[in-house]
Amino acid sequence: MKDKFYVTTPIYYPSGRFHIGTAYTTVLADSIKQYHKLKGEDTYLLTGTDEHGQKIEEKAKEAGKTPKEYVDEMAKMAKELWAKMKIEYDDYIQTTETRHEKIVQKIFDKLMEQGDIYKGEYEGWYCIPCETFFTETQLVDGKCPDCGREVKLMKEEAYFFHMKKYADKLLKYYEEHPNFIKPEYRKNEMINNFIKPGLEDLCVTRTSFDWGIKVLKDPKHIIYVWLDALTNYITALGYLSEDDTLFQKYWPADLQIVGKDIARFHLIYWPIFLMALDLPLPKTILVHNWIMMKDGKMSKSKGNVIYPETLIERYGLDSVRYFLLREMPVSQDEIFSPEAFVERYNFDLCNDLSNLLNRTVSMVNKYFSGNVPQYNGTPNNVDKELEEYTLQQIEKFDEKWNNYETANSIQEIWNLIARTNKYIDETMPWTLAKEKQTEKLKACMYHLIENLRKIAILIRPFMKDTADNIFRQIGIKEEDMKNWKYLKDYNKIQKAQVIEKGEPIFMRLNAQEEIEFLKNVMKK
């Protein structure tokens, strides 16, 4: 049986257009999925929208719509963006769908019956935008510690989840599963900031608004939006439904990706809910940092937002996907800068990658009328060195990618591109041609094509169109030659023919003009 790989993104709040920061999580998730798919695994990517809560009720009202009309429109908009970004999700869940709501009610009942949820009274400071209650001591200058906005003192009859009961079990789980949380410092944050000071029981119902899932046995209570939202990862697979085939096949998730602001919910509440349901925990939860702007968080009110569509329309999808993954180290915040974007485009994509392809295609045309020469399989010294280096880079890429260090792993591919460019300067094919050293020239052209094929495979998870374009230009047609199956082989290309005239995949940008353009866009 094939290995399976189930990966999830957070489900997004339908609160308007997604900026590149929000798109980042999904690009990352899709790229990781594609990588596993190219390795022949049975992959499944889930994304969706988180559609309940007071904030959404208010947004819909402002827009003159019913909440359901509002969230459906937003989900449609999100799906359009994902299509534009070639995000190949396998399921899109909206938490207002019956398949989700019914199961959340069942889960709540189950937790209540087994005594994990009990009835009490809640008084606390509530932040409406964050949909979170805070204790007096958690407030910062009397305001919400997460977003800095005003909070309201609210008191209500409510149900509580017995978090305390699970604290030790959770700590033990962290200890015994070193891959559960990545990067590791997030684990220490959870332990020191939340678990060690003592976990409070969590209030899991609200009565102050309507737009949410009702507790079946006590319908004036609405289920807390985080309990509702977190369970999407299993309701989408049919957990507790009549058909739970997908759940049986894919749960536990192999990877759940979340931004740093929602780490606490995913690293503490989510595993505890799963423990209470007696379900296995996801293998890894990856917490990534944020894309920031020079003046702080991206926000419409600050007028410093950059939307993925703007970049895609002007520079093409792959340069955006490349930039997001290459520039954004998972474990620290990164400031989006127009200079960095243009530089990456001109240097990495145009100078390094596009030129390597162009030079190679034109030389194979010039010296062998476009036919990729056969290779006898016995490398001379310089070819051998290139082969060894290439295989070593593939290993390095694999290791880092599997550890979810995407920026570093992509750097390894670009090291390989640089090394392959250097190989042209070392072998000097023009001299080999002049001196009629045909065998060496053949081996040289073969290695260049072979390395381009390998590079195309390596970038394919995150730059699919570019990879396909490279395969087309170097005459690689068979699917097996485009995935991991023969990635490490150096003797598999047979009868390939490059295209007659190479087509640049990335054209050099006028740096000054584009930096200006991006700065202006960011002001709008």
Q: Which is nearer to ligand MSP, 272 or 449 (CB)?
A: 272
Q: Which residue is nearest to ligand MSP (CB)?
A: 259
Q: Quickly tell me which residue has 């994304």 as its tokens.
A: 47
Closest CA to 240 of 279, 195, 293, 184: 279
Task: Please report how close the Cβ of residue 288 comes to ligand MSP at its closest, in angstroms.
Answer: 7
Task: Please report how close the Cβ of residue 12 comes to ligand MSP at its closest, in angstroms.
Answer: 4
Residues in contact with ligand MSP by the rule CB under 6 A: 10-13, 21-22, 24-25, 50, 229-230, 232, 258-259, 261-262, 290-291, 298
Q: Which is nearer to ligand MSP, 170 or 229 (CB)?
A: 229
Q: Which is nearer to ligand MSP, 132 or 451 (CB)?
A: 132
Task: Please report how close the Cβ of residue 136 comes to ligand MSP at its closest, in angstroms.
Answer: 25
Cβ partners under 8 Å of residue 484, min gap 6: 38, 39, 40, 457
CA–CA separation, 284 and 7 (whole Å): 10
Closest CA to 275 of 202, 164, 170, 196: 170
Task: Please report how close the Cβ of residue 225 comes to ligand MSP at its closest, in angstroms.
Answer: 8
Q: Which is nearer to ligand MSP, 24 or 125 (CB)?
A: 24
CA–CA separation, 73 and 258 (whole Å): 24
Cβ partners under 8 Å of residue 505, min gap 6: 349, 353, 354, 357, 466, 469, 470
Q: Which is nearer to ligand MSP, 277 or 382 (CB)?
A: 277
CA–CA separation, 518 and 512 (whole Å): 10
Closest CA to 348 of 289, 240, 421: 421
Q: Which is nearer to ligand MSP, 85 or 258 (CB)?
A: 258
Q: Is the dihedral of CA 387, 389, 393, 396 positive or negative?
A: positive
Task: Please report how close the Cβ of residue 138 comes to ligand MSP at its closest, in angstroms.
Answer: 19
Q: Which is nearer to ligand MSP, 329 or 370 (CB)?
A: 329
Task: Please report how close the Cβ of residue 470 comes to ligand MSP at its closest, in angstroms.
Answer: 29
CA–CA separation, 418 and 1 (whole Å): 38
